[in-house]
Amino acid sequence: MLKENSAEYKLQPGEGLGTAKPKDRQEEFLSQIINRLNEVFVTDQLTDKDMVNYAYTIRDKVGENILVMKQIENNSPEL
C-alpha cells in the first residue's frame, strides 16, 4: 500500500523534455505516402524499391493529368 509521505508515492519526472526535433513537412508527407503504400501492399511481399518505383509511377501518371495538377496547385497538402 502506498502512503502519501513515502518516496514511492511521488511521480518521477520524464527524461528528454523538449529534445524532440520538429519534423520536416515534406519528409512527414512522404512518410504518410510510404505508410499508405505499405498498408496497400503488405501482403504482396514487395520490396521497398518496388514500392518507391510504384510511387514514382503514380506521380508520373498524376503529373500527366492537367486537371489534377491544377487541383494540386490550388490546394495545400493539409486539406
Q: Work out how many domains the chain is built from and give that number.
A: 1
Cα maximum dimension of the chain: 70
Q: Is 33 within a domain?
A: no
- pLDDT per residue over 8-36, tens digit each? 666 666 676 666 666 778 788 888 888 88
Cβ contacts of 20-26, under 8 Å, gap ≥ 24: 25/77
Domain assignment of residue 50, given as a range = 45-79
Residue 47's identity, in one-letter code, is T
pTM for the full model? Answer: 0.45
Question: Who has greater pLDDT, 12 or 50?
Answer: 50
Torsion of the alpha carbons at 36, 37, 43 and 47, rounded to the nearest 10:
-140
